[in-house]
Amino acid sequence: MKSRKTKKRGLVKQFKRGRVCKKIGCKQALSVYNAYEYCHLHLKESLR
């Protein structure tokens, strides 16, 4: 995990590039700022 500094808010966490949603059949690339292992559409399903 990396961090980069912004002018107003301090450090912003960044995660590994090239990650993909863990939901079977989903190939959505995850943002480097997304701390979760699932994309937005499948995150709620994984928390149940």
Cα–Cα distance measured from residue 24 to residue 14, given in angstroms and rounded to the nearest whole number: 24
Residue 5 pLDDT > 70, yes or no?
no
Q: pTM to 2 decimals?
A: 0.70
pLDDT in tens, 22-35: 999 999 999 999 99
* 1 — pLDDT class (breaks 50, 70, 90): low
Torsion of the alpha carbons at 32, 33, 37 and 38, rounded to the nearest 10: -100
End-to-end CA distance of the chain, in Å? 27
pLDDT of the residue at 2: 62
Cα–Cα distance measured from residue 5 to residue 25, given in angstroms and rounded to the nearest whole number: 35
Q: What is the CA radius of gyration of the chain?
A: 13
